[in-house]
Amino acid sequence: MYSRKQLLQNPTFQHFDKLCRIPHISGKEQAISNYLLAWAESLGLAAEQDAHFNLYIQKPATSGYERAPVVMLQAHLDMVGSKSSGENVNFEKDVIPWVIEGNTITTGGKTTLGADDGIGVALAMTVLGDKNHAHPAIEVALTTMEEVDFSGAESFNFPFRAVSLINLDGSNDNQLLCASSGGMAAEIRLPLERVTLPEACRCVRIAISGLAGGHSGREINRGRDNAIGILGRFLLQIKKMFPFTISDLDGGDSYIALARDAQAELVLAAEDISALEKEAAELEETLHKEHPITGKKIRVSLNECKEPSHAYMAEPIIMMLSLSPNGIVQMNEMFPEIAASSVNMGTARMNEGFLTLKYDIRSLSEKMGKSTYEKLELLAELAGAGCRQSTSYPSWDLRADSLLRDTAATVYRRMYGEEPEICSIHVGLEVGYFFLKKEGMDAIAYGPNRWNNHSPSEGMSIPSVYKAEEYLFTLLSELR
């Protein structure tokens, strides 16, 4: 199939190969940023670097395009460093060892490839270095720390002129992304009311496990459920049947993942245990029916545990778990398969007399995300709990009219004889920050097919890189 030599005749693969030789995990972008600065200057281009090692490079319009509006190309310089267990790799020193496997490039499963977003940077370099294609004046924004907290894009303060932005961090060559969600983390901290333990009581641990889990953005729309939510549902149901208190509760691994398991220790009278057992068995059966694809692995198990030293009133905990918004908040008219707004009750922890719940809120519209947060705030207020938000990033709001999106779709249709998929994603992209910097921004995000980002099995399609390069040049030549 493809040989290394053949790929390296193409400028985009040449640039990608060079980038693989300069370590560039998040927070360690100085070397790659310095390399690109010197490279751009060697081509006679105006290039600047800031204190965050962001780069801003300008290339003049080609002849006949002097009056065309400036276009910005944007990609991120950093990559996630993740390696297979047993691989001895130093991401601050070592070259990324890319290999050809059939039609794809991978590292043979050793480490992340860094096509996220090295290929976006390489495509921008191809345009900057090109002498054969017509295009408007180009501004290239290369940012740092995207994979950590978007702080590069946030602090990018060069006085750019473009109002049209092509983000090169897409990962599907027939998709034009035209919106991405903003998000925030939120936390509720509920003080618990201690109760005196009854004389004769038993303690039973109920554990809900085996849910499919997944990413709180990408997989929230797949009906996989959330173990903490299920636990709340179950506690609400048995509350009507017999009294109990709660001595411990725990669920989820990360607020940005759908909770795969959750458990609680219930303190109850011995005579109510058989009713609890019956309800737990029924819940398992119900969950299997409600989740026809992943349900078989879901388990609801009961185990008697030793008598606890203390227990808390169950009602406020049940209220919090049951009334908390959790899951899809709203879908979007234009993208029926992708959530427009969601909230994930990702973790629940009980310690030092508090129940702490951590949420991931995502939304295509900033106002809708804010409204979800306000619901949490209201619930917290009603329950006498504290509520706060942290780490937020802006949404890239969908534009009803987008000249760039329309032109990109027309060019795609003409080149490939089919419609591109116009879509949004339920994760954050840096585009949201550029929308904050200037009124009236218009953007798309695009890129060649790549998969398993942030994992040692990251891969990228070779033919798709050729396609993306060809498409990008054709699109730029139409923007006049």
Instruction: Return the number of the residue (116 or 397) whose C-beta is nearest Zn ion.
Output: 116
The string of DSSP codes covering 145-192 is -TTTT-HHHHH-------SEEEE-----TTEEEEEE-EEEEEEEEEEP
Instruction: Return the number of the residue (17 or 117) whose C-beta is nearest Zn ion.
Output: 117
Contact with Zn ion (CB under 5 A): which of 17, 29, 78, 116?
116
Question: Quick one: which segment of 17-25, 117-125, 263-271, 286-294 binds Zn ion (CB under 5 A)?
Answer: 117-125
To Zn ion, the closest distance from the beta carbon of 270 in angstroms equals 56
Instruction: Return the number of the residue (58 or 167) whose C-beta is nearest Zn ion.
Output: 167
Contact with Zn ion (CB under 5 A): which of 169, 248, 265, 469?
169
To Zn ion, the closest distance from the beta carbon of 427 in angstroms equals 10
Question: Quick one: which segment of 51-59, 115-123, 204-212, 257-265 binds Zn ion (CB under 5 A)?
Answer: 115-123
Instruction: Return the number of the residue (121 or 387) whose C-beta is nearest Zn ion.
Output: 121
Touching Zn ion, residues 211-230 (CB under 5 A): none
Instruction: Return the number of the residue (117 or 139) whose C-beta is nearest Zn ion.
Output: 117
Question: Quick one: which segment of 52-60, 162-170, 237-245, 311-319 binds Zn ion (CB under 5 A)?
Answer: 162-170
Q: For residue 154, what are the contacts with CB-CB under 8 A and spacing of at least 6?
A: 433
CA-nearest of 65, 66, 56 to 140 is 56
Instruction: Return the number of the residue (154 or 225) whose C-beta is nearest Zn ion.
Output: 154
CA-nearest of 390, 391, 404, 330 to 364 is 330
Question: Quick one: which segment of 45-53, 61-69, 169-177, 414-422 binds Zn ion (CB under 5 A)?
Answer: 169-177
To Zn ion, the closest distance from the beta carbon of 447 in angstroms equals 9
To Zn ion, the closest distance from the beta carbon of 147 in angstroms equals 7
Q: For residue 394, what are the contacts with CB-CB under 8 A and spacing of at least 6?
A: 182, 366, 432, 433, 435, 436
Q: Which two tokens stand for residue 342?
A: 């969601």
To Zn ion, the closest distance from the beta carbon of 194 in angstroms equals 47
To Zn ion, the closest distance from the beta carbon of 76 in angstroms equals 6
Contact with Zn ion (CB under 5 A): which of 17, 29, 78, 117?
117
Helix (H) or strand (E) holding 295: none
Question: If DSSP states are collapsed to H, E and C, what string results for 201-222?
Answer: CEEEEEEEECCCCCECCCCHHH
Our finding on whether 78 is near Zn ion (CB under 5 A) is no
Count of residues that bind Zn ion according to CB under 5 A:
3
CA dist., res. 138 & res. 88, Å (int) = 41
Instruction: Return the number of the residue (116 or 279) whose C-beta is nearest Zn ion.
Output: 116
Neighbours of 42 (CB within 10 A): 9
SS3 content of the chain, % helix, strand, coil (to 5): 30, 30, 40
To Zn ion, the closest distance from the beta carbon of 453 in angstroms equals 7
Instruction: Return the number of the residue (188 or 465) whose C-beta is nearest Zn ion.
Output: 465
Instruction: Return the number of the residue (116 or 187) whose C-beta is nearest Zn ion.
Output: 116
Helix (H) or strand (E) holding 59: strand 55-59
SS3 call for 238: helix
CA distances 44 to 27, 58, 129, 179, 443, Å, are 28, 10, 10, 35, 28
Interface with Zn ion by CB under 5 A: which residues? 116-117, 169
